[in-house]
Amino acid sequence: MKLLALGVLLGFLIALGGDVFAHRDEEPAKTLRAERSSEAKAPLSAAETAQLAEVLDRVQREYVDTVSHPELVDDALRGLVGGLDPYSSYLDAEEYADLRVSTAGTYAGIGIEVSTADRALRVVRPFRDSPAAAAGIRSGDMISAIDGLPVGADLDAAMARMRGPRGSTVKLAVMRTGQSLPLEFTVERAQVDVHSVAMVKLDDAYLYARITSFSDTTAEDFASSIARLRRDMQSKPRGVVLDLRNNPGGVLESAVEVADQLLETGVIVTADGRTPAARFTMEATPGEVLPGVPVVILVNGSTASAAEILAGALQDHHRAVLLGRRTFGKGSVQTVMPLAQGRAIKLTTSRYFTPSGRSIQGHGIDPDHDFESIDGVPLDLDDPRVRQTLASQDAGVHAALELLKGRKPKPASGMTASAGSAPWK
């Protein structure tokens, strides 16, 4: 089963391993000025202008279907930016709005976390007090149709159909264990606050934290979750299992802030690019939330981008031990630059390096302990029964606990590994 990352991202983070996004909030004109280098901007030559005009004219006159001039210009811009690398792209107004929603930690939808199945979406959990929960959607339900249209092979498009204006409704056909016929649900969309951090106690002495992606609210959620569980514990935790499996990345600053919470001092990440804004170093500030508490990080081949920044920083500083499989290997930073008419470009502006100077581009981060396991179904941490038996259901969590207890990690008999995270809608 392939697990997608944050579903509200509508494919921007999950495509080819996710992105690290650097914030760029200037107005379009200011952005253009900020990006001007000392080099003179050479205009198109007469030959280049004629070449573009010739192709445009041929397409408009002879292509089998009529294509409007704005459509052709949009397609040309997509090709111009998208041809640079797999992570740069041109965003029209709708796509840019979706991307801004994806990193804000709130959106209009029905409030469910899902993983992908064969031509269906499996509900990992409905969010507490969400429209989906109020309508009766349950963990384990399989969504087979949305507004009468089968989910089909394009799962990103299917998830997008569950989003919509606040107060509007969406009809879901759901297959449920024990039911021979699909169940029909009509769910009214509402504003949903997304929390990308889930944290529970293990064995009353350890913490398990799952970060599904990095949005603007991730670092705050991480700190508040630790504070909440610390209040319920009689003593300091003996260790932390930090699950970054299938985390595709997200907002650069959020990943750095989480690393800062677990480091007292030192470089977290450096980046190098052509412009002054693209060259930077981010360092930890004094003060740890869990000083002296050992950390084991779970990673796999879908741990990417900002998640790799966090894992690499903690590994280089010997603050955490990595367990699992080699990570994805995306070592570049994308800056989202607003344009006129609500559009934007997402442009690769930097390559980043871990504190020791490692570039992970194309290689990834090798774990300290290889742990080959089968990615299974993600678990609903809102379910009290799951929380109580997580270590016995998830091979990765079980192995991480073994490491924290000083034993060689190995899966218990009959276990499979949980896939870690899943998207929400």
Residue 395, SS3 per DSSP: helix
Task: Give 3-state DSSP helix, strand, coil % of the chain, rounded to 5.
Answer: 30, 25, 45
**Which residue out of 144, 196, 260, 330 is catalytically annotated?**
330
**Which residue out of 102, 144, 305, 350 is catalytically annotated?**
305
The 8-class DSSP code of residue 65 comes to: S
Q: Give catalytic status of residue 330 as yes or no.
A: yes
How far is Cα 12 from Cα 28, in angstroms, rounded to an integer? Answer: 21
How far is Cα 351 from Cα 332, in angstroms, rounded to an integer? Answer: 4
* Partner residues linked to 283 by β-bridges: 267
Residues in Cβ contact with 40 at an 8 Å cutoff, skipping those fewer than 6 apart: none
How far is Cα 378 from Cα 29, in angstroms, rounded to an integer? Answer: 44
Pair 212, 250: CB distance under 8 Å: no
**Which residue out of 316, 375, 380, 394 is catalytically annotated?**
316
Q: Give catalytic status of residue 408 as yes or no.
A: no
Apex 225 CA angle, 295 and 292, nearest 5: 30
The 8-class DSSP code of residue 15 comes to: G
> Which residue, among 168, 131, 165, 173, has the nearest Cα to 148 in the 3D structure?
173
* Partner residues linked to 332 by β-bridges: 351
> At how many degrees (to 10) do helices 306-316 and 252-262 cross?
20
Active-site amino acid positions: 305, 316, 330
